[in-house]
Structure 1
Amino acid sequence: MDNKLIVTAAPHITGADSTQKIMGRVCLALCPALVASVIIFGVNALILTAVTVAACVFFEWGYCKLMGREVPVADLSAVVTGMLLAFNMPASMPWWMAIVGAFIAIVIIKQLFGGLGFNFANPAIVGRIALAVGFASRMANYPKPENGIDALASATPLAVEKGVLGAGEYVTLLLGNHGGVLGETCAIAILVGGIYLIATKVISPMIPVTYLATVAVLSLIGGYDPIVQLLSGGLMLGAFFMATDYVTSPTTDKGKLIAGIFMGVVTCAIRFFGTMSEGVSFAILLMNLVTPYIDALTRQDKLGIAKKKKEAAAK
């Protein structure tokens, strides 16, 4: 028989996308922010990103070789982690500290838990938090923009926003002419990349839209400027590129809605009432930790299960 009925295990519907293609699109979406950071902070931004990416790729290759595993460097996930980690550091960050962050992200958070698909949290987020705790002064050492404009260069807008910023600074926030880490400066570049990810269906708009909307609403209620809160800090980068990680974010639409609201509440609580001016990293990490519970509570019941429960109750 030429035509045989071949039965295989689920899933039976597949797509043309692969991990490599998806990660490649994420890298492409991060390029506008990378170009903007180089324009704003100079060539150090490009060198820091290259060092961090190279370190992440090397640690993934080295660990897998050491453990006798298949080397997954070609899937570009380590490259994405390296770029995101670099975007969470100031351009003045010493290279060896960036390498330490790459080791924590790739080896401790990703590979020790089994590699891609098994990590309990976003590796770049944990790497960023570890660097912020271990090298607090260096992580807060924000260089001035090198493009001739030094508005708000001494600190991030969140550190000075208490009614100080006026309407003129909105343009500064959009263009990124202020102090901060590489990925929290040019909001336009991050937004362009995020829209590209949504348009190419790499990510769902549910989490970033819900996250940003929650922060905006709570800012209005709390008496803070919602535009400043949305365009400052790592909110844009976190909402589009880090909170939407496939492995560590909820899979259901209800779960994504809950996650977005949860992160918005935590971010605003830290920003408004905490001693830190930023709260995105901790909000995303906490969401990563509760994602299994969100999925369990919002997962659709198997076909027939709800019906059987109703029949049993009727009897």
Structure 2
Amino acid sequence: MTYVAQPASVGMIMGKVLLALGLGIAAYVIYFGPAILVSLTLASLAALACEALVLRLRGYVIAPFLKDGSALVTAWLLALSMPPLAPWWLVVAGTAFAIVVAKHLYGGLGNNLFNPAMAGYVLLLVSFPSHMTQWPAAEMLAHAHLSLLDAAIYIFTGHLPAGVTLDAITMATPLDMLKTQLKLGHTVNEVTRAPLYGYLGGRGSEVIAAAWLVGGLILLKQRVITWHVPVAMLAALFAAALWFHVYDPDRYVAPWFHLATGGAMLGAFFIATDPVTGPTTPMGKLIFGAAIGLLVYLIRTFGGYPDGVAFAVLIMNMAVPLIDLYTQPRVIGHDSKKSDRS
């Protein structure tokens, strides 16, 4: 008797991605409060509404596409990349751009050139930089705490509870503070002594990074993704950081800091591994991931933005057709030189 394995459906794959994200979301709530749950809900509703509207305009049957989970994955990745206390209209606008423009104007799932979530994030970062910097302080560092209801009221109205100021619940991110303080002449050792930092990276952020890592390993075990992109990206980021850290440890932070802070782990396992906007060949995936890791380090260290995952992914999305062209394996029995002469 012969057994034929059925290919996994899009809905099954997206469901596994959403479940793998759950561990990081739980850690996020524990260390930074429940505001992220409001952002995730907003982004999910906006993504499903925009998906349904565009599908209706394009004459497609709506239900099967809404059930495949791709819109929800885009929404969650965007929400997890944004400050959880961002106003509601910012979350909706970024999600709408990701679904309508970055996804459907290219033909829908399977045809988009750019990662939709990262396209929406970069649009918001460039257009509304002040709103994209209101990151919540870790619960152990915040001078005030917001309940789920308080967070929802602030996101929808901009009003905080009586006696609570924005400075009491928000603070600079570890990467942002590091870059700012280094420019002021402080050393890495002096900067990372601040309460904002933990053992490996930002306090709380390092635990969330570990949760993304575990979620990514689950996806690897489930064969939802392959090892090539995340390993190449994290290895390149680590190697670049190690090179500069050995050269001047007072100016360049240790490599493990880059892995445990910011969007490195989320980007490596959940964003850069997008099969639609990434290469198809094993060698191409290695080149793609390594280039993203190197770009992330260069942007973080020498660029104008604290983190660079979104920009690095979008830049390399443009290079995917070229990477695929030059990394296709040689066809067995085909003499390329003879073919060229003919």
Provide TM-score, normalisation by structure 2: 0.80
CA distance in 2, matches of 1:85, 1:254: 28
- In structure 1, what is the equivalent of residue 173 of structure 2? 156
- In structure 2, what is the equivalent of residue 36 of structure 1? 27
Q: Map 1:68-79 onto structure 2 (within 5 A).
A: 68-71=59-62, 72-79=65-72
Displacement after TM superposition at 1:227 (Å): 1.1
- In structure 2, what is the equivalent of residue 89 of structure 1? 82
Displacement after TM superposition at 1:137 (Å): 0.5
Q: Map 1:80-229 onto structure 2 (within 5 A).
A: 80-145=73-138, 147-150=139-142, 154-161=171-178, 162=182, 163=188, 164-166=191-193, 169-171=197-199, 173=201, 176=204, 186-223=208-245, 224=252, 225-229=254-258
2:312 aligned to which of 254, 262, 283: 283
- In structure 1, what is the equivalent of residue 146 of structure 2? none
Structure 1: gaps (5+ residues) = 1-12, 178-183
Displacement after TM superposition at 1:150 (Å): 4.3
1:28-62, Cα deviation, whole Å (9 max, x unpaired): 00011111222223232101101101110110011
CA distance in 2, matches of 1:37, 1:167: 21
Displacement after TM superposition at 1:98 (Å): 0.3
CA distance in 1, matches of 2:271, 2:133: 21
Give the paired residue count. 294
CA distance in 1, matches of 2:43, 2:228: 30
Displacement after TM superposition at 1:91 (Å): 1.3
CA distance in 2, matches of 1:14, 1:107: 34
1:48 aligned to which of 39, 47, 50: 39
- In structure 2, what is the equivalent of residue 180 of structure 1? none
CA distance in 2, matches of 1:159, 1:175: 14
Counterpart residue type for residue 233 of structure 2: Y
Q: 1:312 to 1:167 in 2, by over 3 A?
A: same
Q: 1:95 to 1:305 in 2, by over 3 A?
A: same
Q: 1:18 and 2:9 equivalent?
A: yes
Q: Percent identity?
A: 40
Q: Map 1:285-300 onto structure 2 (within 5 A).
A: 285-300=314-329
Contact 2:201/2:258, CA 8 A, preserved across alignment: no
Contact 1:194/1:241, CA 8 A, preserved across alignment: yes
CA distance in 1, matches of 2:74, 2:107: 16
Displacement after TM superposition at 1:294 (Å): 0.3
CA distance in 2, matches of 1:249, 1:239: 12
- Superposed CA RMSD in Å reads 2.4
- In structure 2, what is the equivalent of residue 245 of structure 1? 274
CA distance in 2, matches of 1:122, 1:104: 12
Structure 2: gaps (5+ residues) = 144-168, 183-187, 246-251
